[in-house]
Amino acid sequence: AQSVTQPDIHITVSEGASLELRCNYSYGATPYLFWYVQSPGQGLQLLLKYFSGDTLVQGIKGFEAEFKRSQSSFNLRKPSVHWSDAAEYFCAVGAYGQNFVFGPGTRLSVLP
Amino acid sequence: SQTIHQWPATLVQPVGSPLSLECTVEGTSNPNLYWYRQAAGRGLQLLFYSVGIGQISSEVPQNLSASRPQDRQFILSSKKLLLSDSGFYLCAWSQGLGQPQHFGDGTRLSIL
């Protein structure tokens, strides 16, 4: 069965520190991979996507993610976190002609 | 550019009352449309999706129904709301299955 896991329910980092949010997936087809961010009471905003090619993808707001096929992972990174990055982050997996499977989300808190 | 509108933003309804949430997309044609529910502190659950006018696929059995009367309009309905229908409802669109989904701002539904 297709599934997405985000092992960390809640992460707290200090402003200016680096960030890595983990995402692992189990998917039968060649996956398309996505990261979304959700501020409280808001919809989801697409941060970045991977379809094929270069396994390191750049997104908006200074985020990047690396696809590692051997580890079935698509971890999200940011070198220096800002207080405005506090939000919920969702990893999602899809494929051509297939619906998304979303992970359960990781809540990020940022300390001043 | 494409935009997606959801309304109302918040709704308080008594148990047993009907429901109608509306979602419209502008700036694109023949989009795929989706309804998700997000329970408090939980991930996203796909309720319905539609690949064309009058074509609705249900992902989970429930008290809700969906309709697509026009190309860019998607409606979520219920004849009699249950307490368990409370949650945050999100509409989304994409160019096709597996393509990036773009979300509305959501509707917070509270059942009393």
The total of other beta-carbon atoms located within 10 Å of residue B105's CB is 15
| Mean pLDDT taken over chain B | 93
| Mean pLDDT taken over chain A | 94
User: In this complex, do A43 and B98 lie within 8 Å of one another by their Cβ atoms?
Assistant: no
- Mean pLDDT value of segment A59-80: 96
The pLDDT of residue B42 is 74
- Mean pLDDT value of segment A55-79: 96
Are A72 and A88 in contact by the 8 Å Cβ rule? The answer is: no
User: In this complex, do B108 and A102 lie within 8 Å of one another by their Cβ atoms?
Assistant: no
Q: Which of B101, B96, B106, B105 is nearest to B32 (CA)?
A: B96
The pLDDT of residue A36 is 98
The pLDDT of residue B102 is 96
User: In this complex, do A97 and B96 lie within 8 Å of one another by their Cβ atoms?
Assistant: yes
- Shortest distance between the Cα of B46 and any Cα of chain A, in A, equals 9
Q: Which residues of chain B have pLDDT under 50?
A: none
What is the interface size between A and B, counted as CB pairs within 8 Å? 54
